[in-house]
Amino acid sequence: MDKNIFQRLGFVPRYNEVTLFLTASTFLLLLATNKEIVEIILNMGGGDIRNALFVSFFMIGLIAAIYYALSSNETPQIMKHFMLLFVIITNLGVAVYAFIHFQKHNDIFLIFPALNVLSAVFMYLLFRAKVIDEECISDENARHLQILVGLAALIAVFLTSQYLLKNYWAITFSMCLTYASLVNDVVTKTILRG
């Protein structure tokens, strides 16, 4: 497939260090507060070598997303690959669990997982077609203030969804992914400019 056509149409996502950091932070927040996610990860890691490798690659991507956002080191291509796998696996995993929840419940906040399902499937197809690759991850270093502002806002979204609205974890994750990928840049620029 011609990658340039998808880029011109705006279908190729771009990830910066802050977006990746916020995605990893959301996963860690949910891991610390939700037993179901812990069970899912433990069940995926056990059994056979493929599952263990899958979880290992996921965790390498998660750790790399945090490390390279907080450091000024250049991100090697192999780490970008792991971070890209982390984002795709996260989106697909949340989409699957949100879709299962979506079928059982009628909830106004299901718009977030519905968008996440569409995004995840599209992202996976573009990845398989080699349209999405390591070039989708920006080399620009994040400023620590950007990370701090983004993290503060993300925690507010997380706490509101998880504890005030008492949403299912996949809906909370979807809301946080939506914030991290679509809203955070605008919020951060507005706050840091003012």
In tens, the pLDDT along 53-80 reads: 888 889 999 999 999 999 999 999 999 9
Domain ranges, ordered by start, for the chain: 3-193
In tens, the pLDDT along 84-122 reads: 999 988 888 888 887 787 777 766 666 777 777 787 788
Range from 22-31, 98-107, 146-155, 159-168 carrying the lowest mean pLDDT: 98-107
Residue 133, Cβ density class (10 Å: 0-12 exposed, 13-18 middle, ≥19 buried): middle
Q: Who contacts 116 (Cβ-Cβ below 8 Å, separation ≥6)?
A: 91, 94, 95, 98, 174, 177, 178
pLDDT of 48 strictly over 80:
no
Q: What is the mean pLDDT of the chain?
A: 85
In tens, the pLDDT along 162-174 reads: 999 998 898 899 8
Residue with tokens 């919020």: 187
Nearest CA to 125 among 156, 147, 92? 92
Measured distance CA(108)–CA(111) in Å, rounded: 7
Question: What are residue 137's DSSP bridge partners?
Answer: 15
Q: At 5, list the tokens.
A: 């056509």
Q: Who contacts 103 (Cβ-Cβ below 8 Å, separation ≥6)?
A: none
